[in-house]
Structure 1
Amino acid sequence: MGMPSYLILPGVNEIAAAVVELAPALHRALERRADTEIDFPRPPDLQLSALRLVRRHPGTTVRELAGELQLKPNNASALVTAMVTQGLLVKEHDRADRRVVRLRLTDQARQRHDAVQGLFTGYVEAALAALTDSERRDVAAALPVLHRIVEQIKAGE
């Protein structure tokens, strides 16, 4: 007699496929829901990623932004130029080395970023609240592992 089906773990391929499908589905669900509640155009995903990075690390350089977002330097520069033009980012010269340009969010970008992130977080909090304590513990336990997967993919492993 074999192992009960509820004890059989799916294979790596099935888990990988599920993660690949789940991540964009979650992101799309968050975006679509937020789009119904915000009264300004939500920045494109790449811009939101840049805003998150600069929000977390004010003074980030264009080179650091390129590395974190895995962009070619010229693409990162074009992204930053567009975001400066749109009033989302401000470039400031480094006090110690005037050749270095540091980035910070404008007040408008900070407010909009925080509004979108607040909605996203609220939706996930409400969904988590609907789960059992055991399910929430499972989600919490998976987070460090998911972060490791992201880091391994970034590193090309």
Structure 2
Amino acid sequence: MLALQRSDAWLDLDLTLPQLRVLFAVRRRTGCTVSELAQTLGRRLAATSALANRLVRAGLLRRVSDQDDRRRIRLELSDKAEQMLTMVDQRSADRFAAILGRMSTQGRAALADALSELIELVSSDLLEDLAPGADPNRTEKGFP
């Protein structure tokens, strides 16, 4: 999303940035409910519901009944939305690659080192979070 905010990759899609964020969130959490989507986005339920309704009317989202509980409605991307997001991803990647291509060799090496360290730390946290009895309040130095 950071790349999208500084890029024109999505400007010709006739979507607002909040609508695009909804599509990317549903792509990440396919089958989520509107309530789960609102929580993911940190938005009010009513505002998220209105956004989802507009995207359904535009043919970008589908409402699907949950197979286990027919009362629960889940959101999925339409094929049209998936194609749009794939195009935005490619445009953003192309722009980012062009920017990286202008970086110095030393700058790219420093960035690669920093990203490798970040990936290791995030991976370590994820593994610890999956460990039985993991405490979500734990920090690197113990507990807050």
Q: Calculate the TM-score normalised by the size of structure 2.
A: 0.70
Identity %: 32
- Residue 27, structure 1, aligned to residue 2, structure 2: no
Q: In the superposition, relative to structure 1, how do residues 34 and 77 fare at CA in structure 2: closer, same or farther (>3 Å)? A: closer
Q: Secondary structure at the match of 2:13?
A: coil
Structure with bigger helix share is 1
Q: In the superposition, relative to structure 1, how do residues 52 and 137 fare at CA in structure 2: closer, same or farther (>3 Å)? A: farther
Q: Deviations 1:62-86 (Å, cap 9, x if unpaired)?
A: 1111011111011111110010001
Distance in structure 2 (CA, Å) of the matches to 1:117 and 1:66? 23
Distance in structure 1 (CA, Å) of the matches to 2:49 and 2:67? 20
Aligned residues: 117
**Pairs within 5 Å for 1:1-157:** 27-28=5-6, 30-31=7-8, 35=11, 41-140=13-112, 141=114, 144=118
4+ residue segments displaced more than 4 Å: 142-145
Q: Give, as a single letter, the amino acid of the residue that structure 2 aligns with 1:131.
A: M
Q: Give, as a single letter, the amino acid of the residue that structure 2 aligns with 1:100.
A: R
Q: Could you list the runs of 5+ residues in structure 2 that have no partner in the other structure?
A: 123-144
Q: Deviations 1:106-143 (Å, cap 9, x if unpaired)?
A: 11111011111210111001111221233124445269
Q: In the superposition, relative to structure 1, how do residues 34 and 86 fare at CA in structure 2: closer, same or farther (>3 Å)? A: closer
Q: Give, as a single letter, the amino acid of the residue that structure 2 aligns with 1:121.
A: A
Distance in structure 1 (CA, Å) of the matches to 2:76 and 2:10? 24
Q: Could you list the runs of 5+ residues in structure 1 that have no partner in the other structure?
A: 1-22, 149-157
Q: Give, as a single letter, the amino acid of the residue that structure 2 aligns with 1:119.
A: R
Q: Deviations 1:45-71 (Å, cap 9, x if unpaired)?
A: 011111111112211111111011111
Q: In the superposition, relative to structure 1, how do residues 115 and 42 fare at CA in structure 2: closer, same or farther (>3 Å)? A: farther
Q: Calculate the TM-score normalised by the size of structure 1.
A: 0.64
Distance in structure 2 (CA, Å) of the matches to 1:34 and 1:44? 9
